[in-house]
A = this chain, B = another copy of it.
Amino acid sequence: MHIRGWTVRAAGLPMVLDDREETPLPGDAIVEVAGCGVCHTDLGFYYEGVPTRHGFPLVLGHEISGVVVGAGAEAQAWLGRKVVVPAVTPCGRCEACRDGRGAICPEQVFPGSDIHGGFATHVRVPARGLCPVPNLEDAAVNRAGLALSDLSVIADAVSTPFQAIRRSGLAAGELAVFVGAGGVGGFGVQIAAALGAAVVAVDVNDARLAAISLHGASLTLRGDLLDTKALKSKIRTFAGERGIPSWRYRIFETSGTPAGQATAFSLLAKGAYLSIVGYTGKKVELHLSSVMAFDATVQGNWACLPELYPEVVDLVLSGKVALSPFVEHRPMATINETFAEIHAQGAPRRVILVPER
C-alpha cells in the first residue's frame, strides 16, 4: 500500500512528506488515518533529543484513529472497521505479557517511536491491540456527536490518565489532585470527576484552570504562585470539608516538569498515593523518606493496556468525558508550523492533525 508520511529526517529539521510502500504482514492492519493528535512526547522526540526507539528518519505520531483498509493474514476480520490505535501495543506472548505486565513488554509497539507513526495518510500497526469504535451514526451510542478523528486523542491523552486512575484505586468520594491540567491532566480531571471523586487541578496557566473548572475540577490552584505550605493547606481544607482523610488522596503528576514533580511529591500525606504520569528527563530533589514516614505509595504509569480502551471510548462517546472543548483540528500539512507553535507557546487545546484527502 502507498503511504505518504511527514518524515523527520533529523531532529528539529522541517518534516517532509515522504512516500513509501508498506505490505501488511500476518497480524498487521493498515489504518487509513482519520486524525493524529500532537503530544508532548512528539515534541520531546523532535526538539529535546529524547530518542525514538527506531531512530530517524521516522514519521512521528502515536494518537491515531482511522479505518482499517488493509490487513495481513489473521487480521482480515478488521477490514473496514473504524478503530483507535493504542499508543502502546504489547506483544501478548512474552513472559511480561503473560504475567499481566504488558506495559513493560520489551516487544511493545509504539507508533512514532518503534515504527512509522500517524502523521501520515496511513499507518501499519499490529491488529491485535486495535480498539473497535462503535457505530458513530447511532446517536444513542455517540451521544457526544464525535467524529472518528476526535477519537484519536483517546490513544494517549485520555487512556493514559484512565489507566493511572484505575491503578490508583480511586473511588467515588475520594480526593484526586492533578498537578498539570494540560492535555493529559485535563482529561484526568474529567475521568476522576466522572468516577465521583472530588477533584483539584493545579497548574501554572489560568486559561487551562478556567477551562477545567467547567469540566470537573472543584478547586483550581496556581502551583507557581502558592508556596508548598499554602498549597497543602488549601488542599487539606478542601478535603477536610468533604470528610476525606489523607489516605484517600490520589495525586497525579501530569505536568512532566521538575517543578510539577516537586509539587506533587510535596503533597504526599499519611497513606496517600502519588502516580507519576508525566515524563521529564530532568532530576528533582526530594525527601524520599517521606514515603516511609507517611506509609505512602508512588507508582509510575506507562501508557494504557489495549484491553482498557473500550471503556475509555465509552466514557468519551457518552459525553462523561468531554473532548470537543479540549481539541482542535488542523490540516496535517500545517504540521511544521503546528509543532513550532506548540513548542514556543504551548497549545490551549490538543491539536489533531487531519490528513488531506
Of B103, B246, B279, B283, which contacts A285 at CB under 8 A? B283
- A276–B289 contact, CB under 8 A? yes
* Contact residues in B for A106 (Cβ distance below 8 Å): 270
Task: Determine if A294 is an interface residue (Cβ-Cβ < 8 Å).
Answer: yes
Contacting B at CB under 8 A, from A229-271, are 245-247, 256, 261, 265, 270-271
* Contact residues in B for A104 (Cβ distance below 8 Å): 246-247, 270-271, 294-295
Task: Determine if A344 is an interface residue (Cβ-Cβ < 8 Å).
Answer: no
* Contact residues in B for A265 (Cβ distance below 8 Å): 288
Nearest residue, chain B, Cβ from A106: B270
Of B103, B292, B300, which contacts A279 at CB under 8 A? B292
Q: How far is the CA of A286 from the CA of B279 in the complex (A)?
A: 13
Given A245-B95, A271-B101, decide whether A281 and B289 contact each other with a Cβ distance below 8 A.
Answer: yes
Of B101, B285, B298, which contacts A291 at CB under 8 A? B298
Given A104-B247, A286-B286, decide whether A302 and B293 contact each other with a Cβ distance below 8 A.
Answer: yes
Task: Determine if A296 is an interface residue (Cβ-Cβ < 8 Å).
Answer: yes
Task: Determine if A301 is an interface residue (Cβ-Cβ < 8 Å).
Answer: yes
* Contact residues in B for A293 (Cβ distance below 8 Å): 279, 300, 302
